[in-house]
Chain A
Amino acid sequence: MSIQFLDLRTSQAISYGLPLNTGELVSNTSPGTQVGGVGLIVKDVLAGNKNDIRVELDASVGMSSTMGDIVTLRVHRISNGVTTVVFQGNQVIAGSANVITGFTAADFQPTFPTNGQLVYRLFVQAQSATDVFLDGPISFNGLAVAGTFP
């Protein structure tokens, strides 16, 4: 088998950041506020590559707070009717300042989806229910490849 490029999908909920502390409030209930989602189409994968899919997910999220807080960023995979956390981490949000945080994440050899699509969703959860603002920008992008050389 050779290396196959499968798909690239983008989800940019907010392209232009808002003024400080004017965005939507971030939920403090798990898994948090959904800020992005992509459905990577992997149905073109060769039969010999079905068990060697590799997914990279990259995100930037602009947030702010008045007093300062800590947010948890989570990526869920939804495939074959099953939801799985594939990436989770915490990030401090300082008071009275915009921050664009982000990450690169990977999903290595996920189970092949029978419908040919791997769905990934990005959530942000705050500790305070009333003090983290999604000022943006927000961008969540994914890439899928499969296979290798003999």
Chain B
Amino acid sequence: MPIQFLDIRTSQAISNGVPSGTGSFISDVAPGTFLGGIGVITKGALQQNKNDIRVQLRLSAGVTSEISENFVTFRVYRISNGVTTLIFQGNQVVPPATIIAGIVASDFQPPFPTNGQIVYQTYVQANLANVIHLDGPVSFNGTAATGTSP
């Protein structure tokens, strides 16, 4: 079956970053502070393409550590058919200066959602409480495609 473009969804919680070190603190309790969520619509998938969905997810988050170097953990969850699954997790050092940290993640051939929508949510957790600011910007975007050429 042909390659099909399915959907792009965006979730930009903070468009304009605030001055360094003035944003709210990132939670140190798992899974952390919620950064964004999207519902990628896959109901346009042809019957034969339902088991070949590919999803690309991209996240940017402006973060600043107080005084010394710390780190954050980024997590992405898939919520589909009533099941929540961790699909991506990684750590990133945060210096005592603002950086735009980010990830590219993918979800390969996830189970087809009976309601036609795959939800993705992303969180960031700090290694310690009250040490890392979420200054923004924050943007979380996803693209889905399926199928291939015979």
Q: Does A90 contact B (CB under 8 A)?
A: yes
Q: Does B17 contact A (CB under 8 A)?
A: yes
B16:A104 contact, CB within 8 angstroms: no
CA distance A106 to B57 in the complex (A): 13
Residues of the B chain whose Cβ atoms lie less than 8 Å from the Cβ of A3: 5-7, 41, 44
Main SS of chain A's interface residues? strand
Of all chain B residues, the one with the shortest Cβ separation from A72 is: B17
Residues of the A chain whose Cβ atoms lie less than 8 Å from the Cβ of B44: 2-3, 149
63-117 of chain A: CB within 8 A of chain B: 70, 73, 85-92, 101-108
The size of the chain A interface, using a CB distance under 8 A, is 29
- Interface size bracket, B side: 20 to 34
Q: Does B111 contact A (CB under 8 A)?
A: no
CA distance A56 to B8 in the complex (A): 8
Q: Using A104-B102, A105-B137 as known contacts, say yes or no to A87 and B116 having CB atoms under 8 A apart.
A: no
Residues of the B chain whose Cβ atoms lie less than 8 Å from the Cβ of A55: 10
A148:B97 contact, CB within 8 angstroms: no
Residues of the A chain whose Cβ atoms lie less than 8 Å from the Cβ of B16: 85, 87-88
Q: Does B51 contact A (CB under 8 A)?
A: no
A88:B17 contact, CB within 8 angstroms: yes
Of all chain B residues, the one with the shortest Cβ separation from A56 is: B141
A105:B60 contact, CB within 8 angstroms: yes
**Mask of B1-45 contacts with A, CB within 8 angstroms, 1/0:** 000011111111001110010000000000000000000010110
CA distance A92 to B116 in the complex (A): 41
A88:B137 contact, CB within 8 angstroms: yes
B98:A105 contact, CB within 8 angstroms: no
A91:B98 contact, CB within 8 angstroms: yes
CA distance A107 to B5 in the complex (A): 19
Q: Does B99 contact A (CB under 8 A)?
A: yes
Residues of the A chain whose Cβ atoms lie less than 8 Å from the Cβ of B5: 3, 5, 145
Instruction: Using A56-B10, A91-B99, A102-B60 as known contacts, list a sample of 13 further A-B pairs with CB atoms less than 8 Å apart, ordered by residue number in A.
Output: A3-B7, A3-B41, A3-B44, A55-B10, A56-B58, A85-B15, A88-B16, A89-B17, A90-B20, A91-B62, A92-B98, A103-B139, A104-B139
17 cross-chain CB contacts under 8 A: A55-B10, A56-B8, A56-B10, A70-B98, A89-B60, A89-B98, A90-B17, A90-B98, A90-B135, A92-B95, A92-B98, A92-B99, A102-B100, A103-B102, A103-B139, A104-B58, A149-B116
